[in-house]
Amino acid sequence: MSISQFIEEKSRQLCFYLRAFWQGSLEYKELNFFFWDTLEEWSLYRSDDLEPGSHKERVFWHLLHQIHYWREDQLISDTVLKEELVNCVAYLRGESVYPMDCIGLRP
């Protein structure tokens, strides 16, 4: 599996989990489990680090970091933060242009 395939698969999952969390059908702890599971899977994943990161990959890592960094209540009620995250989700889903304020890096 290439890095781009990994990012594509995990991006779909991340968008699904985050949207379900915002809709109230997924608990925060499940979102947090996804964060740790993704990092664990990435740590086992060996790839050619020479493959450059794409815009999609940067947005993915940025969004993954944000869901772990901010508290549950902030992810739900901070309107500025939520707007940023919604823009990231829209980009990962192919529904929006690249959000310029995403600076995610590979762990």
| The two three-digit tokens of residue 99, written as one number | 């959000």
Model pLDDT, residue 47? 60
Q: What is the pLDDT of residues 79-99, one digit of tens each?
A: 999 999 999 999 999 999 999
Q: Which residue has the higher pLDDT, 103 or 62?
A: 62
User: Do the beta carbons of residue 67 and residue 35 sit within 8 Å?
Assistant: yes
For the cut 80, the answer to whether the pLDDT of residue 103 exceeds it is: yes
Model pLDDT, residue 1? 75
Spatial distance between the Cα atoms of 89 and 99, rounded to a whole number of angstroms: 10
CA dihedral 73, 67, 14, 20 (to 10 degrees): 0
Q: What is the pLDDT of residues 1-59, one digit of tens each?
A: 788 889 999 999 999 999 999 999 999 999 999 999 999 999 887 665 667 788 999 99
pTM passes above 0.85: yes
| The two three-digit tokens of residue 66, written as one number | 């944000």
Band of pLDDT at residue 106, cut at 50, 70 and 90 = confident
